[in-house]
Amino acid sequence: MDRYPRAATAYVLAVGDAVKWARAADRPLPPASLTKLMTAVVLLESRWDPAALVTVSPRAAGAGGARAGLAAREQLTAGSLLAAMLVRSANDACLALAEHHSGSVERFVERMNERAQRLALTGTHFENPCGLDAPGHLSTASDLLRLGRFAAKFPSVAALAATPGLTIETRAGRRIALRTTNALLGRLPGAMGLKSGYTAQAGRCALVHAQRDGIDVWLVLLDAHDRWWTAAALVEDAFHGARRD
């Protein structure tokens, strides 16, 4: 089952519904920004209005890590912030959406954990909506595979995950260019997303969805030393094997 023992600390690859290869797939590890897929699910399952205006708080504007460069008191639509969160993996946009949705980041995280329980993500617990390193903020490759499959059913998640880049605009007219953090888009034939992530504790992570000739390949890598080359190699191998089968 562990065909690629050096691929990552933990990984799981599935072709269609069948898991083909895995390593430590149920080991809880920091998931980095793969977390944002759950954030998107909670947002989109609520009374989601992409045209709603969101005011960026000082807390959101001060977020570390990947950012869209938002300033406190700027206003953007919720749809623009979702794009920044999923395309650029922007933590400032992520926090602004969480606060707008639930009134506070902490209440939003409670909803994330409630949703994780309902999805039967038994190895998952969230401490923040963005995937920043924190004690107890953990998931597993198996849980993230299930989460990724579920999140990709939302048309806006699927579309943004496959977007190489776009430009959003604040209410005041400031334009912000966003480029994807997914190095496979436009390079790996059939790549459709889904999310990348990195923190000091999590290492390099990726949740990859690719499709060719009606065959779906899903891959989760947690703490992968050479994330994109490894992902490309596993996905290509999976497609070749599926065609032989």
Q: Catalytic residue at 89?
A: yes
Which residue among 36, 139, 142, 196 is the active-site one? 36
Q: Determine, yes or no, domain membership for 152.
A: yes
- The residues, any chain, with a CB within 8 Å of residue 199's CB and separated by 6 or more, are 30, 32, 33, 65, 131, 132, 133
Which pLDDT does position 4 carry in this prediction? 85
**32 belongs to a structural domain:** yes
Position 178 in a domain: yes
Inside any domain, residue 4: no
CA distances from 32 to 113, 172, 220, 242 (A): 16, 32, 12, 30
Residues of the chain with pLDDT under 70: 245
Range of the domain at 118: 10-244
Cα–Cα dist 220/234, whole Å: 11
- What was the pLDDT predicted at 3? 84
Say how far apart CA 159 and CA 193 lie, in whole Å.
9
3-state secondary structure of 191: strand
Q: Is residue 121 part of a domain?
A: yes
| pLDDT, tens digit (0-9, with 9 covering 90-100), for 112-151 | 999 999 999 999 999 999 999 999 999 999 999 999 999 9
Q: pLDDT at position 242, please?
A: 86
Q: What is the pLDDT, as a whole number, of residue 2?
A: 82
**Is residue 84 a part of any domain in this protein?**
yes
Alpha helices in the chain (DSSP H): 36-44, 58-61, 78-87, 91-102, 105-118, 141-151, 155-161, 227-244
Q: Which of the following is catalytic: 20, 33, 80, 142? A: 33
- Residue 33 a catalytic site member: yes
Global pTM value: 0.97
Q: Is residue 1 part of a domain?
A: no
Catalytic position from the list 57, 89, 102, 142: 89
* Residue 5 in domain: no
Q: What is the per-residue pLDDT for 164?
A: 97
CATH code (residue 79) = 3.40.710.10
- Which pLDDT does position 205 carry in this prediction? 98
Note the pLDDT of residue 245.
63
Task: Taking the CA atoms of 157, 81, 58 and 45 in sequence, report the sign of the dihedral they define.
Answer: negative
**For the chain, how many structural domains are there in total?**
1
Distances (CA, A) of 195 to 3, 54, 57, 100, 144: 23, 24, 25, 23, 11
Three-state SS for 59?
helix
